[in-house]
């Protein structure tokens, strides 16, 4: 560990009594103060909507505080743009970092650099190669961003920040979409850079990560600092309690699989394949059954879900939902047949940011309602939305607030609700709890179990195998585009799944 993390050196970044009131009236930060020591990893945690991203945006000049001060290396600063923060030595990876999907990895990483490097392809390539070597990460610099997985995109955003040689790097949920391998790469890079003097502020909902990686941590709740402590002095249970407050903390998931009986085949996939991606794959999901797809990133699990849903035009094979055979390979036909897909990259695929939460939630089913019936329907939709807001603890001023004003995790929950409260019979869930806090994770798992009890079929993809073990009846392990093993949950464990998925 860096000797500086416990040393007496002056903090690099000090936030003093910061308030943030958005123009919508939301009081997101209420007098937040914290000090970040040089050469340390400072964890920032809290429930969805607690104010973490708001604070990160204020520290990095994306937004300005309503009152209070931010000091950088001993001097108060009033940055109004991210480039001012960057020039001072602070780089940020935001919760949803915008990358340009039509540009290559290389161009994205060096995007916005004003120096001559920007034009010197050979030099840039050399620098990226060196950076990747240092991190132990392999990426094709000439791939376009649009071709990468969500995790791949996230790694590019991280590389982009690390390529700046910043003194302080702010990471807002960097691991939400990463595979175990990419996580390891990121962690060892953070540790190495920290030991060389770089400072990090690290936001995550994974408490094990926070405990393993950070030196100091701050817990926010409803815009206020609840805990500010040295990481070595706190336990996971204390953190859970601090994060969720009075709300029941049910992090320990006990599986209720044995008392569930399954019914008719609901989803039957036969010989489904997509050239270069996966297959041929056959699987059956019964009414009342939750089936997990365990696999590492790049194993083909997301591609498989998308193909089942009809979003992959080059796929061959058959998909049946109940008695419906999906003839036209299109998501529209899939929705009509009773399939719902909650995609992994929800920011991109899921929401209309300017629309109210209630309209987003009812969106997939709008086409099934006639215009004339829209008014009475709206009342019903509002009702469903209020139910979703209560059951998933969606933090929003009202069902009418635009989704663009919700925190990242709460927006995730809206996408989730959008499909969950509809009439679908089979749910395809890609990383259902990515980006949601510990309390909401438990809520989502309860909801999935309830769907199964109501006779629905569920397929879940998750990088967190513990989560699969906690909610599934049966787990299919996917490797290199093939189902290589099928395990009833009662007969397997984390160890076995990890070994099978990675081919050890
Ligand atoms: N652009 C905005 N306009 C209005 N309100 C906003 C805006 N961004 C965030 N908020 C509100 O500010 C509060 C804090 O949101 P913030 O995004 O900082 O939470 P967070 O801790 O990052 O949560 P998450 O874990 O879900 O990412 C929430 O109530 C949110 O609805
Ligand atoms: Mg956030």
- Render pLDDT for 351-368 as a digit per residue (tens, 0 to 9): 555 566 666 555 555 444
Pocket flag, ligand 1, residue 107 (CB < 6 Å): no
Pocket flag, ligand 1, residue 26 (CB < 6 Å): yes
Confidence grade of residue 253 (pLDDT, cut at 50, 70, 90): very low
Q: Tell me which residues have their CB within 5 A of the ion that is ligand 2.
A: 52-53, 95, 407-408
25, 45, 52, 54: residue to mutate for ligand 1 pocket, most atoms within 8 A of CB: 54
pLDDT on residue 411:
80
Q: Do domains 3-244 and 263-338+425-432+457-504 have the same CATH topology?
A: yes
Angstrom distance (rounded) from CA 328 to CA 154 = 33
For the chain, the domains span 3-244, 263-338+425-432+457-504
Nearest ligand to the CA of 205 is 1
pLDDT on residue 301:
85
Q: Ligand 1 center to residue 54 CA distance, Å?
A: 6
Q: Is 46 helix (H, G, I), strand (E, B) or coil?
A: coil
45, 53, 59, 223: residue to mutate for ligand 1 pocket, most atoms within 8 A of CB: 53
Higher pLDDT, 463 or 282: 282
Pocket flag, ligand 1, residue 438 (CB < 6 Å): no
- Asked whether the predicted pLDDT for residue 393 surpasses 80, the reply is yes
Q: Closest Cα to atom 28, ligand 1: which residue?
A: 49
Per-residue pLDDT averaged across 411-418, rounded?
78
Beta-sheet strands, E only, within 287-325: 290-294, 316-321, 324-325
Closest CA to 60 of 45, 80, 41: 80
Burial zone of 34 (CB within 10 Å; 0-12 exposed, 13-18 middle, 19+ buried): buried
Nearest ligand to the CA of 52 is 1
- Asked whether the predicted pLDDT for residue 456 surpasses 50, the reply is yes
Q: Percent of the chain scored above 70 by pLDDT?
A: 84
**Ligand 1: nearest atom to the Cα of 55:** 18
User: 160-164 contacts: CB < 8 A, separation 24 or more?
Assistant: 160/91, 160/93, 160/97, 160/108, 160/109, 160/111, 161/91, 161/92, 161/93, 162/91, 162/131, 162/135, 162/189, 162/193, 163/109, 163/110, 163/127, 163/128, 163/131, 164/86, 164/91
Q: Ligand 1 center to residue 238 CA distance, Å?
A: 24
Q: Closest Cα to atom 25, ligand 1: which residue?
A: 48
28, 62, 436: residue to mutate for ligand 1 pocket, most atoms within 8 A of CB: 28
pLDDT on residue 98:
58
Give the max Cα distance, the chain: 70
Give the model confidence (pLDDT) of 29-56 as tens digits: 999 999 999 999 999 999 999 999 999 9
Pocket flag, ligand 1, residue 412 (CB < 6 Å): no
Per-residue pLDDT averaged across 394-421, rounded?
80
- Asked whether the predicted pLDDT for residue 259 surpasses 60, the reply is no
- Fold classification of 3-244 (topology level): Rossmann fold (3.40.50)
Pocket flag, ligand 1, residue 405 (CB < 6 Å): yes
pLDDT on residue 442:
82
**Ligand 1: nearest atom to the Cα of 53:** 22
49, 206, 414: residue to mutate for ligand 1 pocket, most atoms within 8 A of CB: 49
Q: What does the mean pLDDT of the chain come to?
A: 82
Pocket flag, ligand 1, residue 28 (CB < 6 Å): yes
pLDDT on residue 2:
42
44: DSSP letter: E
pLDDT on residue 1:
40
Q: Closest Cα to atom 27, ligand 1: which residue?
A: 408
> C-alpha 306: how far from its chain's center?
18
Confidence grade of residue 370 (pLDDT, cut at 50, 70, 90): very low
Q: Percent of the chain scored above 90 by pLDDT?
A: 36
Give the model confidence (pLDDT) of 148-174 as tens digits: 777 777 788 888 787 777 899 999 988
Nearest ligand to the CA of 44 is 1
Q: Ligand 1 center to residue 64 CA distance, Å?
A: 14
- Asked whether the predicted pLDDT for residue 254 surpasses 80, the reply is no
Pocket flag, ligand 1, residue 410 (CB < 6 Å): yes
Q: Closest Cα to atom 5, ligand 1: which residue?
A: 405
Q: Which H or E element spans position 469? A: helix 465-471
Pocket flag, ligand 1, residue 433 (CB < 6 Å): no
Pocket flag, ligand 1, residue 439 (CB < 6 Å): no
Give the model confidence (pLDDT) of 426-449 as tens digits: 999 988 887 788 888 888 888 899
**In the CATH scheme, what is the code of domain 263-338+425-432+457-504?**
3.40.50.300
- Asked whether the predicted pLDDT for residue 270 surpasses 90, the reply is yes
19, 26, 45, 206: residue to mutate for ligand 1 pocket, most atoms within 8 A of CB: 26
* 299 contacts: CB under 8 Å, gap ≥ 6: 478, 479, 480, 481, 501
């Amino acid at each position: 560990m860096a000797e500086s993390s416990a040393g007496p050196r002056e903090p690099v970044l000090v936030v003093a009594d910061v308030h943030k009131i958005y123009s919508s009236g939301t009081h997101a930060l209420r007098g937040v103060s914290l000090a970040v020591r040089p050469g340390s990893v400072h964890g920032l945690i809290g429930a969805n909507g607690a104010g973490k991203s708001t604070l990160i945006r204020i520290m990095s000049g994306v937004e300005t505080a309503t009152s209070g001060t931010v000091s950088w290396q001993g001097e108060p600063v009033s940055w109004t743009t991210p480039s001012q923060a960057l020039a001072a030595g602070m780089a940020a990876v935001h919760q949803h970092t915008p990358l340009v999907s039509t540009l290559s990895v290389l161009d994205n990483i060096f995007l916005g650099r004003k120096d001559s490097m920007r034009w010197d392809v050979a030099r840039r390539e050399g620098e990226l190669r060196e950076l990747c070597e240092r991190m132990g990460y392999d990426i094709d610099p000439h791939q376009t961003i649009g071709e990468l997985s969500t995790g791949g995109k996230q790694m590019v955003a991280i590389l982009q920040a690390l390529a700046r040689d910043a003194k302080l790097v702010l990471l807002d949920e960097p691991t939400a979409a990463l595979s175990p391998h990419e996580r390891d790469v990121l962690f060892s890079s953070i540790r190495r850079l920290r030991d060389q003097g770089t400072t990090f502020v690290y936001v995550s909902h994974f408490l094990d990560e926070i405990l393993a990686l950070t030196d100091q941590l701050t817990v926010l709740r409803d815009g206020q600092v609840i805990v500010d402590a040295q990481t070595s002095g706190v336990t996971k249970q204390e953190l859970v309690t601090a994060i969720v407050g009075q709300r029941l903390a049910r992090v320990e998931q006990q599986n209720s699989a044995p008392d569930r009986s399954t019914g008719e085949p609901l989803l039957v996939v036969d010989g489904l394949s997509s050239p270069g991606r996966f297959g041929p794959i056959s699987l059956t999901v019964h009414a009342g059954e939750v089936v997990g797809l365990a696999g590492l990133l790049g194993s083909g699990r997301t591609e498989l879900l998308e193909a089942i849903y009809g979003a992959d035009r080059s796929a061959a094979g058959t998909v049946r939902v109940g008695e419906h055979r999906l003839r036209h390979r299109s998501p529209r036909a899939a929705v009509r047949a009773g399939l719902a897909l909650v995609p992994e990259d929800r920011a991109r695929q899921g929401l209309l940011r300017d629309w109210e939460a209630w309209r987003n939630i009812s969106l997939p089913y709008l086409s099934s309602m006639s215009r004339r019936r829209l008014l009475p329907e709206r009342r019903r939709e509002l009702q469903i939305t209020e139910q979703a807001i209560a059951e998933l603890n969606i933090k929003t001023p009202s069902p009418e607030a635009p989704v663009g004003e919700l925190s990242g995790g709460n927006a995730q929950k809206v996408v989730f609700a959008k499909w969950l409260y509809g009439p679908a019979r089979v749910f395809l869930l890609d990383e259902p709890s990515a980006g949601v806090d510990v309390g909401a994770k438990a809520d989502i798992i309860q909801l999935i179990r309830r769907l199964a009890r109501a006779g629905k079929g569920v397929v879940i993809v998750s990088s967190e195998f513990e989560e699969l073990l906690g909610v599934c009846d049966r787990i299919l392990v996917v490797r290199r585009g093939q189902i290589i093993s099928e395990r009833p949950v009662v007969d397997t464990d984390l160890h076995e799944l990890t070994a099978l998925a990675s081919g050890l």
